Amino acid sequence: LTATGQSCSGAVTYAWSPSTFLSGTTGATVTAVNPTTTTTYTVTVTNGSGQTATATALLTVNPNPVITVPPATICNNTSTILTASGATTYTWSPATGLSPTTGATVTANPTATTTYTVTGSNPTGCTGVTTVIVTVNPKPVLTATGATICPGASAPITASGATTYTWAPSTGISPTTGATVTATSTVTTTYTVIGTTLGCTGSTTVVVTVLPPCGPVVSTTGSTVCNGICGSVTSTAGGGTAPYTYLWNTGETTSGMTPTACPTVTTTYTVTVSDNSNPVGTASAIAIITVNPNPVVTVPAATICARTSTTLTASGASTYTWSPITGLSAGSGTTVTANPVLTTTYIVVGTNSAGCTGSVTVIVTVNPAPIIIANNDSGCPGDTATLTASGAASYTWAPAKSLSPNTGALVSAKPAVTTTYTIIGTNANGCTASATSVVTIHPRPVAAFASSPQLTTIFNPTVYFTDLSTGGTMVLWDWSFGDVTNSSSNIKNPSHTYPGVIASYPVQLIVTNQFGCIDSVTHVVYIRGIFTFYIPNTFTPNNDDVNDGFMAKGTGIDETDYDLWIFDRWGNLIWHTEIWGEAWDGKANHGADVAQIDTYVWKVHVKEKETGAKHNYVGHVNIVK
């Protein structure tokens, strides 16, 4: 950054701020060292007279581009395209193996793994740098061994130096992949084998030479068996001079062409055939007995309760057969439903895709269900029944309404109507069974009776009772007649004679029906009086204790509502009483005067006790002395 100051009064000085990124803060020229952000600087110029002037300078910092180039992996003697991004122009180094060395895209074909440096520039002239590695994997170098065979014979040919191999043409070899294949060509053939390692390939050729007919020629056939089953290998000889002798690598010398072997794993057998020529001609071949594994069948065991079922599922094979079929939903299949009556051992035979079989046994244990025994009970409405259950470890009763509690071996029931309860019992094995318990609610009788006659009086106080109870057949009657002697009876329709007095008696009947249910009823029987009223017309109040008083008599009188008035001939009230049974003694004015012999007027107010009827009577009474 450079500032230029002019002054008329001597030299000038410079001061820069801020000091960020600056190499110094005085002098006409300062250097910004590695600035990272755009910054505005202010310079102050001072002359010899102390006068100042300021100016600003903007230092713009442009960002460097961020260069990216994906790495690449190639095989030796091949090329790849490298593409850079993040800038406008690019240069690449070193130039070895690159074409061109500038531009966003270049072709790379180094002979060895190389790290390239890429420098990119953006429009502001700023640069960024990155590196990219091109990994060069070597092509495999193959070696192969050919073979010479007689017509109809076979021989192995092998290759090495790579990881995987492919052979061509496919005619006369088996298989066409792998490090070792078997050549059975009938004519001399050149085979190309291509090997691959880390995606890079190499190739070579190998010759299988087929000789003219020479001595015996042998061909073989193997077999495929399941583990535990013996297999056979077959050899057929031709050419040369018969008869032939067969020597197998098992050490067995036989004139037979098909020996039997029982390997436990896949095994390759070699047979050497000798003919009867001179000199003896020989030929060899291999035969394979492939041993397929037997499936390992598994079926989890199960435990059920009697009269229930479980699902059995087999695994380890493709198809399955089950035996015995007793208690099974099917005799084949991966999954069956088992509901045997007793504990049963089932044999499951599984067959895999190779046709080999394996078997396993599975036990379905059947735990017995409990035998629940429960009592029945009966009663009358409102009674409590006791119910018990046995034969299990725990019990649940339903419906729960009217039960207390609803679990356990002993519960109390108080239903309003006849109810059937279901008991679910569970034993120690978790198996359940049910039973029922019936609580029969018998009808309660409705006690009722009638009495006659409807009007019973003190003159005929005998009452006849008739039982009118309903609700079953009554078998017991208990009558209480309510009198002071506590008279009672236990016949159906009794009678009872009450004392000849006016009274009311609570009569209670308690009846019991054929179920033992009881009800009672109480009615009041009234012994009524007959209303009579008598009053004399003459009395003699002379203190001779004979007819000395004047009073009314009668029956059925309400003694609480009674009046007797006495009047003289002039209508004057001379005596009055409200007490039933009180007599006028012939005196007047509250006993102050003795009434003279004369005729007097009386008036009576009287009320019937039974009916409440009121009567008023008027008459004459004579005093005679």
Domain extents for the chain? 13-59, 72-137, 143-210, 216-292, 302-367, 373-441, 449-528, 532-623
Q: Which pLDDT tens digit goes with each residue over 139-185?
A: 999 999 888 887 777 889 999 999 999 999 988 898 999 999 999 88
Q: State how far the alpha carbon of 210 is from the alpha carbons of 146, 215, 216, 387, in Å.
A: 11, 13, 14, 101
pTM confidence score: 0.46
Is pLDDT at 253 greater than 60 in this prediction? no
State residue 255's pLDDT score. Answer: 53
Superfamily of domain 216-292: Immunoglobulins (2.60.40.10)
197-224 confidence digits (pLDDT tens): 988 999 999 999 887 666 777 888 889 9
Is the pLDDT at 256 greater than 70, yes or no?
Answer: no
Q: How confident is the model at residue 259 (pLDDT cuts 50, 70, 90)?
A: confident
- What was the pLDDT predicted at 581? 92
Q: In the structure, what pLDDT confidence band is assigned to residue 371 with cuts at 50, 70 and 90? A: very high
Strands 114-121, 89-93: pairing is antiparallel
Q: pLDDT at residue 321 above 60?
A: yes
| pLDDT for the residue 487 | 92
Q: Is the peptide bond before 18 cis (omega within 30 degrees of 0)?
A: yes
Taking 80 as the threshold, does the pLDDT of residue 532 lie above it? yes
User: Residue 467's closest CA among 508, 434, 502?
Assistant: 508
**Mean pLDDT on 186-194:** 91
What are the angstrom distances between the C-alpha of 124 and each of 85, 86, 103, 270?
A: 16, 13, 18, 80
CATH class, 532-623 region:
mainly beta
Q: Which pLDDT band, with edges at 50, 70 and 90, does 252 fall under?
A: low
More confident residue, 460 or 311: 311
Higher-pLDDT residue of 348, 9: 348
The pLDDT assigned to 599 comes to 94
> Among 555, 542, 612, which Cα is nearest to 581's?
555
Q: What is the pLDDT of residue 528?
A: 83
pLDDT above 90 for 493: yes
Residue 254 reports pLDDT greater than 60: no
Does the CA dihedral 582-583-589-590 come out positive or negative? negative
Backbone angles phi, psi at 11, to 5 degrees: -70, 160
pLDDT for the residue 373: 97
CATH code linked to domain 143-210? 2.60.40
Looking from the CA of 187 toward its CB, the CA atoms found within 13 Å total 2
Q: Which of 242-251, 425-434, 437-446, 576-585 comes out lowest in average pLDDT?
A: 242-251
Question: What are the pLDDT digits (tens) for 566-601?
Answer: 999 899 999 999 999 999 998 887 667 787 899 999
Cα–Cα dist 482/470, whole Å:
23
pLDDT of 444 strictly over 90: yes
- pLDDT surpassing 80 at residue 448: yes
d(CA 258, CA 104): 72
User: Check: CATH 1.20.950 for 373-441?
Assistant: no
Mean pLDDT of the chain: 90
Question: What is the SS3 string spanning 330-352?
Answer: CCECCEEEECCCCCEEEEEEEEC
Worst-scoring range by mean pLDDT, 26-35, 179-188, 314-323, 536-545?
Answer: 26-35
Partners of 487 in the beta sheet?
none
Q: Looking at the domain 72-137, which fold is it?
A: Immunoglobulin-like (2.60.40)
Q: Is the pLDDT of residue 7 over 80?
A: no
Residue 2 confidence class, pLDDT cut points 50, 70, 90: confident
Chain-centroid distance, C-alpha 238: 74
Q: How confident is the model at residue 251 (pLDDT cuts 50, 70, 90)?
A: low
Lowest mean pLDDT among 76-85, 123-132, 198-207, 273-282: 273-282
The confidence score (pLDDT) of residue 190 equals 93
Residue 185 neighbours by CB under 8 Å, 6+ apart: 149, 171, 172, 173, 208, 210
Instruction: Please report the pLDDT score of residue 591 as a whole number.
Output: 65
- CA dist 163 and 445 (Å) reads 105
Which of the following CATH numbers is that of domain 302-367: 3.30.70.270, 3.20.20.70, 1.10.150.120, 2.60.40.10? Answer: 2.60.40.10
Q: Which pLDDT does position 235 carry in this prediction? A: 86
Whether the bond between 324 and the residue before it is cis, its omega within 30 degrees of 0, is yes
Higher pLDDT, 466 or 245: 466
Q: Which CATH code for domain 449-528?
A: 2.60.40.10
Q: What CA–CA distance (Å, rounded) separates 283 from 364?
A: 60
Range scoring the smallest mean pLDDT among 107-111, 372-376, 410-414, 554-558: 554-558
Q: What pLDDT is attached to residue 25?
A: 85
- Tell me which amino acid residue 93 is: S
The yes-or-no answer to whether 72-137 and 143-210 have a common fold is: yes
Q: What pLDDT score was predicted for residue 625?
A: 78
Q: CA torsion 300→306→308→314, rounded to 10°?
A: 20
pLDDT value of position 260:
84
pLDDT at 9: 60
Tokens of 122: 């953006």
Give residue 14's pLDDT band: very low, low, confident or very high (50, 70, 90): confident
544: pLDDT strictly greater than 60: yes
